[in-house]
Amino acid sequence: AGLDVGLALTHSTRAVGRFAARVDRALSRRARNATLRITLRRVRVRRSRTGRDIDHLALAGRINAALEDPKASRVFRPTLVRVRAKFNANDLRRGANTVITIDRSNFKLRLFKGLRLRRTYRVAVGQPAFPTPRGRFQIQSKQVNPTWSVPNSPWAGELAGSTVVGGSAANPLKARWMGVSGSIGIHGTGEEGSIGTRASHGCIRMRVGDVIALFRRVPLGTPVLIR
């Protein structure tokens, strides 16, 4: 006579876990925050992208349970969960309301508000021997009638290492100062004939009336692109 032998089902939970992790990698997508794209002439927003995720541990649990039950379905539909970006385009428009770009080749400073060009100013930039640095910076400090801490450099002459009070005739930083990087900043100049030339020791010079107007519209932390 024949014997009825119970069928024993076994499986590797580790293999199931690895399979669920592969499904997760194949189907999941990271959310992407909106970002600013700043060029000398334009400020644009790269839109955010919603991500998606699955609970691979829950999926592995469902597969393990089904493998232990011969009658259970072998078809699984992982639940996709939408993952929102932390910052979208509207957040950037509100948070990055002001942007400055400085075009060294054409001696132009552009002011963007609400991602739109609002004003263009003529400026002077650094001499070939003392070039205005290129890169992405931000407004780090603001001062009215700034004190000049004279660098210990040969070009500073007998003033090297000294401090010149704001508003004095010997102070080349006229009216306003907006620090960009270390000793480099945007300031007014008494030598308005230098506007449109490479004349400074690295700073960005503006006409006094222009720098006063700009100062009022630029908060600390404003992004500054110099190229």
User: Which pLDDT does position 1 carry in this prediction?
Assistant: 56
CA–CA distance, 99 with 30 (Å, rounded to integer): 28
CA–CA distance, 123 with 192 (Å, rounded to integer): 9
- Would you say 211 and 190 are in contact if contact means Cβ atoms under 8 Å apart? no
Nearest residue to 211 via CA among 226, 227, 195, 199: 195
CATH 2.40.440.10 residue ranges for the chain: 97-226
The pLDDT tens digits of the residues spanning 69-112 come to 888 888 888 888 999 999 888 887 776 689 999 999 999 999 99
Mean pLDDT, range 200-227, rounded to an integer: 97
For the entire predicted model, the pTM comes to: 0.74
- Would you say 166 and 173 are in contact if contact means Cβ atoms under 8 Å apart? yes
- Would you say 173 and 201 are in contact if contact means Cβ atoms under 8 Å apart? no
- Angle of CA points 104, 140, 211, to nearest 5°: 55
User: Residue 171: pLDDT band by 50, 70, 90 thresholds?
Assistant: very high
Output the six-digit token pair for 197.
């030339």
Partners of 37 in the β-ladder: 44
The architecture in CATH of the region 97-226 reads: Beta Barrel (2.40)
Residues marked active site are found at 187, 203
Q: Is the pLDDT of residue 196 over 60?
A: yes
User: Residue 158: pLDDT band by 50, 70, 90 thresholds?
Assistant: confident
3-state DSSP assignment of residue 135 = strand
The pLDDT tens digits of the residues spanning 144-155 come to 999 988 878 888
- Would you say 104 and 122 are in contact if contact means Cβ atoms under 8 Å apart? no
- Would you say 117 and 185 are in contact if contact means Cβ atoms under 8 Å apart? no
Amino acid at 41: R
CA–CA distance, 169 with 39 (Å, rounded to integer): 37
Averaged pLDDT score across all residues of the chain: 92
Amino acid at 180: V
Enter the DSSP assignment of 32.
B
Distances (CA, A) of 124 to 99, 109, 150, 173, 209: 19, 9, 20, 13, 15
Nearest residue to 120 via CA among 214, 190, 28: 214
